[in-house]
C-alpha cells in the first residue's frame, strides 16, 4: 500500500491554492480535490500509541475551506447536534482568519478539539452537505470535522486558549457527578454564571470515556487534560476517587452538604456480554476492561503496574467505535492477528467511517455476517477458540434494515486466545439503586424532561446516562441544555 505523507499533501495543496482564480464559481469549488487527512504510515503506527490522524496543514485547510459553497439554506447546520454556524467558520478559514473561525465554533461548542476528532461527521453535518450530494458521495462532502479540528488545534498550539470569565460569586453550589463530556460542559456553563461547582469523579483521573475508553492514538489525552485544566482555572473543584452512591449518596449532597442543584452525568458504564458459554474463561474481556487497562492504566507503557493479557490471536466482537478501538489497541499491544467479528455487514457498522478504514489499513481482519455461539476452553480453562455461525441478510425489519438470519448448520471454529466483547454498554445502576424516587426507563437510563430535569427536584441529568451509549457531541448538547436550566433555576431561587 502506498502511503502519502503529510508533506506531499501539503505541497499539493499549496500548488492547488496558487491556481485558484477568485472569485470562484460553484463548479470550480466542486472541482477542488477533497483534501485527504494526513496520517501516520499504517506499517509504523501499528507499533505506537501516537495519534494516527495528523491534522490538516494550513494550505490543506484553506484549500478544503474553498470547497464550501456557502449554501444559504445551510443544510450542514441542521445536521449538527449543537448547530454550529458551519459555513461562517469555514468562510473565516478560507479568509485565513483562524481566530475568527474558532470564535464562531465556540459560540456553540465547548470541545471542538475533541469533537473535530471523534464526531461521526459522516452521519451528522457532512451527511446533508451539498457538495457531497452533488458529487454523489458523503466521502466527498466538505470535511467539516477536519476543519473544526484544524482551527481548534491552531488555537491551542498558539497558546490562544482563554479561560472563560467567571461572574461574581452567587453563593450557590452545584454538584456534578461524573467528569465526561456532559459533565465538563455543565461545569463550565454553570461556573461561568458565578456558581460554585464541584465535580465528583469515581476514577482517579477526570475525563470519563474520553480518558479511559477512547485511545491515545485517536484522542491524545493531553487534549482532554487541557479541558480539565481549563475547568480548574475557572475555579471548578474536582474531587476524584469519589463514588456517588457509595462515598456519599445523591440525597446527602442535597440535604446535608448544601448543594442547590445537581447534574448526573455518569455515562453508560455497564458492559454487556453475549451470555454465551465460556464467557468467563481466562482471556475473555469486556472492551471496557481491555481499554481501561490499555488507556487509563497505561498498559501500553512498560512502567505500568496494571497487567495486559499477553494475546497472540484476538477476536473482537462488535462493529462500533468501541470495537474498532479495542481491535486497534490489541494490534498495538503486540497481538499477531486481530479479527473483528460482526453480525451484520459493513454498511450497518455504527463506527465512524474513518476508524473502519484505519482499522483495515492496520491489518485488522474483518469477519462480517458472523456471530459466536460459544467460546472454547483448553484444559486449563483459558480461551483457545470460538465456535461461530454464519448469517445472511433476510427481510427488512421495521426500521428498514435487513436483519441478519443464521444459516443453519454453518458452524465453524476460529482459533483465538483472547476474546474482547464490544457489543455495547448499559447504564451503571449505582445511582438509581441508591437514590429513591429517581425515575428510570426500562433500560435503566434516567428519565428527564425537556430541560434535562429528572423526576427529583433540583436534580438534572444528561449524556449517556440518559441517552444510553451515544456520542460525545450529544452528551455535550445535553449538558448545555441542563446547564441552562440549572442557571435559570438558580437565578430564580
Positions in the binding site for ligand FAD (CB under 6 A): 118-119, 177-183, 200-203, 208-209, 213-214, 243-245, 265-267, 269, 291, 321-322, 325, 352, 428, 430-431, 463-465, 470-473, 475
Please provide the DSSP assignment of 175-232 as one string.
Answer: EEE--SHHHHHHHHHHHHTT-EEEEE-SSSSS-THHHHTS-TTTS-HHHHHHHHHHHH
Q: Which are the contacts of 170, defined by CB distance < 8 A and separation ≥ 6?
A: 193, 194, 195, 490
Binding residue (CB under 6 A) for ligand SF4 from 17, 24, 69, 357: 69
87 is a site residue for ligand SF4 (CB under 6 A):
yes
Give the residue among 161, 324, 141 at the shortest CA–CA distance from 228.
161
Closest CB to other proteins among residues 304, 405: 304
CB 190 within 8 A of CB 259: no
Q: Which are the contacts of 2, defined by CB distance < 8 A and separation ≥ 6?
A: none
71 is a site residue for ligand SF4 (CB under 6 A):
yes
Q: Cell 501539503 sits at which residue?
A: 10
Give the residue among 308, 268, 259, 295 at the shortest CA–CA distance from 423.
268
CB 93 → ligand SF4: shortest distance, Å?
11
End-to-end CA distance of the chain: 64
CB 38 → ligand FAD: shortest distance, Å?
19
Binding mask 121-150 for ligand SF4 (x = CB under 6 A): --------xxx----------x-x------
76 is a site residue for ligand SF4 (CB under 6 A):
yes
Say which entry of other proteins, ligand FAD, ligand SF4, none residue 204 contacts (CB below 5 to 8 A, set by partner kind).
other proteins
Give the residue among 309, 323, 307, 314 at the shortest CA–CA distance from 375.
314
Binding residues for other proteins, per CB under 8 A?
A: 202-205, 240-243, 246-248, 269-271, 273, 275, 279-283, 285-286, 288-289, 292-293, 297-298, 301, 303-307, 309-310, 380-382, 428-430
Closest CB to other proteins among residues 35, 198: 198
Q: How, if at all, do strands 425-426 and 237-239 pair?
A: unpaired
Burial 409-428 (b: 16+ CB within 10 A, else e): eeeeebebbbbbbbbbbbbb
101 is a site residue for ligand SF4 (CB under 6 A):
no
* DSSP class of 135: T
* Residue 92 grid cell: 473565516
CB 349 → ligand SF4: shortest distance, Å?
24
Say which entry of ligand SF4, ligand FAD, other proteins, none residue 285 contacts (CB below 5 to 8 A, set by partner kind).
other proteins
Say which entry of ligand FAD, ligand SF4, other proteins, none residue 304 contacts (CB below 5 to 8 A, set by partner kind).
other proteins
Closest CB to other proteins among residues 150, 309: 309
Name the site residues for ligand SF4 (rule: CB under 6 A): 68-71, 74-76, 86-87, 90, 129-131, 142, 144
Amino acid at each position: 500500500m502506498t502511503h502519502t505523507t503529510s508533506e506531499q499533501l501539503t505541497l499539493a495543496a499549496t500548488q492547488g491554492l496558487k491556481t485558484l482564480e477568485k472569485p470562484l464559481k460553484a463548479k470550480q469549488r466542486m472541482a477542488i480535490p477533497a483534501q485527504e487527512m494526513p496520517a501516520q504510515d499504517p506499517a509504523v503506527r501499528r507499533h505506537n500509541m501516537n495519534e494516527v490522524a495528523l491534522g490538516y496543514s494550513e494550505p490543506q485547510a484553506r484549500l478544503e475551506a474553498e470547497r464550501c459553497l456557502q449554501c444559504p439554506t445551510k443544510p450542514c447546520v441542521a445536521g449538527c447536534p449543537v448547530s454550529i454556524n458551519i459555513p461562517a467558520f469555514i468562510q473565516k478559514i478560507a479568509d485565513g482568519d483562524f481566530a475568527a473561525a474558532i470564535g464562531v465554533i465556540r459560540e456553540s461548542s465547548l470541545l471542538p478539539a475533541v469533537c473535530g476528532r471523534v464526531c461521526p461527521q459522516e452521519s451528522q453535518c457532512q451527511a446533508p452537505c451539498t457538495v457531497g450530494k452533488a458529487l454523489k458521495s458523503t466521502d466527498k462532502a466538505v470535511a467539516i470535522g477536519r476543519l473544526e479540528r484544524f482551527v481548534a488545534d491552531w488555537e491551542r498550539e498558539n497558546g490562544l486558549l482563554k479561560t472563560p470569565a467567571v461572574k461574581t460569586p452567587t453563593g450557590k453550589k452545584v454538584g456534578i457527578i461524573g467528569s465526561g463530556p456532559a459533565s465538563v460542559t455543565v461545569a463550565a456553563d454553570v461556573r461561568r454564571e458565578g456558581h460554585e461547582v464541584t465535580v465528583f469523579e469515581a476514577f482517579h483521573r477526570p475525563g470519563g470515556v474520553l480518558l479511559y475508553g477512547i485511545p491515545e492514538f485517536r484522542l491524545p489525552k493531553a487534549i482532554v487534560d487541557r479541558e480539565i485544566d481549563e475547568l480548574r482555572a475557572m475555579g471548578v473543584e474536582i474531587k476524584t476517587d469519589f463514588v456517588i452512591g457509595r462515598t456519599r449518596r445523591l440525597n446527602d449532597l442535597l440535604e446535608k452538604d448544601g448543594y442547590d442543584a445537581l447534574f448526573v452525568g455518569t455515562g453508560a458504564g455497564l458492559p454487556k456480554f453475549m451470555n454465551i458459554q465460556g464467557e468467563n474463561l481466562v482471556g475473555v474481556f469486556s472492551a471496557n476492561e481491555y481499554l481501561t487497562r490499555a488507556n487509563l492504566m497505561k498498559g501500553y507503557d512498560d512502567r505500568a503496574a496494571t497487567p495486559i493479557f499477553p494475546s497472540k490471536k484476538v477476536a473482537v466482537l462488535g462493529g462500533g467505535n468501541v470495537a474498532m478501538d479495542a481491535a486497534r489497541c490489541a494490534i498495538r499491544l503486540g497481538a499477531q492477528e486481530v479479527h473483528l467479528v460482526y453480525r451484520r455487514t459493513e454498511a450497518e457498522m455504527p463506527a465512524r467511517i474513518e476508524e473502519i478504514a484505519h482499522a483495515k489499513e492496520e491489518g485488522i481482519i474483518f469477519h462480517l455476517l458472523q456471530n459466536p455461539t460459544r467460546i472454547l476452553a483448553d484444559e486449563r480453562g483459558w480461551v483457545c477458540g470460538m465456535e461461530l455461525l454464519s448469517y445472511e441478510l433476510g427481510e427488512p425489519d421495521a426500521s428498514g434494515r435487513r436483519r441478519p438470519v443464521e444459516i443453519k448448520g454453518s458452524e465453524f471454529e476460529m482459533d483465538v486466545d483472547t476474546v474482547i466483547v464490544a457489543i455495547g454498554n448499559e447504564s451503571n445502576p449505582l445511582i438509581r439503586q441508591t437514590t429513591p424516587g429517581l425515575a428510570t426507563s426500562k433500560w435503566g437510563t434516567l428519565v428527564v424532561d425537556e430541560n434535562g430535569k429528572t423526576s427529583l427536584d433540583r436534580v438534572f441529568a444528561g449524556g449517556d446516562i440518559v441517552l444510553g451509549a451515544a456520542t460525545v457531541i450529544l452528551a455535550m448538547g445535553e449538558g448545555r441544555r441542563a446547564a441552562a436550566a440549572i442557571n435559570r433555576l438558580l437565578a430564580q431561587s
